[in-house]
Structure formats: C-alpha cells, structure tokens
Amino acid sequence: MHSIELTVDMRARWFADLTSAVGTFCRPLGDGLVNVFAPHATVGLAILELGAGSESDLREALDRLLPRDDRWSHRHGSRGHGADHVLPAFVSPTLTLPVLDGRAALGTWQHIVLIDTNDDNPIRKIRLSFVLG
C-alpha cells in the first residue's frame, strides 16, 4: 500500500477541494483504489459539484440540520461546537474511489471535498492511501 499525509489549512473556509491533490497522488500509481481519510472527530469528506451553487446549498442544509447553538450536550469549544462532532455521522470522514490509469474515476462535475465547520482547529491532516487493483 502506498500512503501519504496532506496538511490542509481550513482558516477562513469551511470546505476545501482535494481533487487536485488526490489526482497528483494517484497519477503515477496505475489502477487500484484510493482511500481518502480524515482522522478528525469533526470533519467529513464528500463528493460534490462545485461552482454551481452546491456549496451554499450544502452549507444551508448543514446549518439547518446542525444549528450552531447551545442545544448540544457536547459543549467545549466555540458556540455550537457539539454540532461539529455530529457532522461525521452525516458526512463520512472517509471515501474510497476507483482509480483507472492513474486517475480517480470521478464524474464530469464531481470533486472530492473536505467539509469542516469547526473553527476551533484550522489545520487538518488527510491520509491518502492507494491499493493496487
């Protein structure tokens, strides 16, 4: 298995497009599977269309589903931080994708996106792992 760790700075943003980094990682590796894993308790990974309003639609849906208020039992950190700890139950912290000829087999508009609504921890580590097919 081939594996690397990325560092992603999430300051001043709540999502990051990882598609290019995953593509660079997979390019020399041929056919197989790539796993993208976020070893954090408050983030998730999604496949999402970018640039056509999906980002704001997702943020609005997350804000309705996981409001940033004091209803949460988990209360350390910033206001509403308990919602951050529930996020991975809805947006998984791991994705596995087929890789064909060194390219993640994504659809035309699909991007690999890190979702992070937690302002308390801006530096994230992402583990990319590749298994030959």
pLDDT of 133 above 90: no
pLDDT of 126 above 90: yes
pLDDT in tens, 55-108: 999 999 999 999 999 998 988 888 888 999 999 999 999 999 999 999 999 999
Q: CA separation (Å) from 79 to 62, 64, 69, 82, 117?
A: 16, 15, 6, 8, 12
Q: CA separation (Å) from 4 to 24, 50, 75, 126, 130?
A: 11, 25, 33, 8, 9
Over residues 20-46, the mean pLDDT reads 98
Please report, for the domain that includes residue 117, its CATH number: 2.60.120.460
DSSP string, the chain: -EEEEEEEE-TT-SEEE-HHHHHHHHGGG-SEEEEEE---TT-EEEEEE-SSSHHHHHHHHHHHHS-SSTT-S--SSSTTHHHHHHHHHHS-SEEEEEEETTEE---TTEEEEEE---TT--EEEEEEEEEE-
Share of the chain above pLDDT 90, in %: 89
Whether the full predicted model's pTM is greater than 0.85, yes or no, is yes
pLDDT of 42 above 90: yes
> What is the token pair recorded at 119?
């302002």
Share of the chain above pLDDT 70, in %: 100
pLDDT of 26 above 90: yes
How many domains, the chain? Answer: 1
Q: Which domain holds residue 60?
A: 2-132
